Amino acid sequence: MLDANATLDPVLPPVLPVGGQLRHSTGIWGMWMLIGTEAALFAYLLFSYFYIASQHEGTWPPFGPPELTKASINTVLLLASSGCAWWAERGAKNGRRGVVVAGLLSALLLGAAFMGIQVSEWMNKPFRIDTDPYGSLYFTITGLHMMHVAVGLLMLAALLLWAALGFFTERRHAALSVGVLYWHFVDAVWIAVYSALFLAPHLS
**Per-residue model confidence as pLDDT tens digits over 84-106:** 999 999 999 888 999 999 999 99
d(CA 14, CA 35): 38
Mean pLDDT for all residues in the chain: 88
Tell me, what amino acid is at 32? W
pLDDT computed for residue 160 by the predictor: 96
Q: What would you report as the CA-atom Rg of the chain, rounded to the nearest whole angstrom?
A: 22
C-alpha distances out from residue 171 to 29, 82, 92, Å:
18, 22, 9
User: How is the chain split into domains, by residue range?
Assistant: 23-51+69-203
Find the mean pLDDT for residues 169-192: 92
pTM to 2 decimal places: 0.86
Find the mean pLDDT for residues 182-193: 97
The CATH H-level (homologous superfamily) assignment of domain 23-51+69-203 is Cytochrome c oxidase, subunit III, four-helix bundle (1.20.120.80)
d(CA 113, CA 122): 14
Residue 117's pLDDT band (boundaries 50, 70, 90)? very high
76: helix, strand or coil: helix
pLDDT computed for residue 171 by the predictor: 79
pLDDT digit string, tens, across residues 6-48: 444 455 445 544 455 555 677 888 899 999 999 999 999 999 9
* Spatial CB neighbours of 98, under 8 Å, sequence gap ≥ 6: 91
The answer to whether the beta carbons of residues 88 and 102 sit under 8 Å apart is yes
The yes-or-no verdict on residue 140 having pLDDT over 70 is yes
The answer to whether the beta carbons of residues 193 and 53 sit under 8 Å apart is no
Q: What percent of the chain has pLDDT over 70?
A: 88
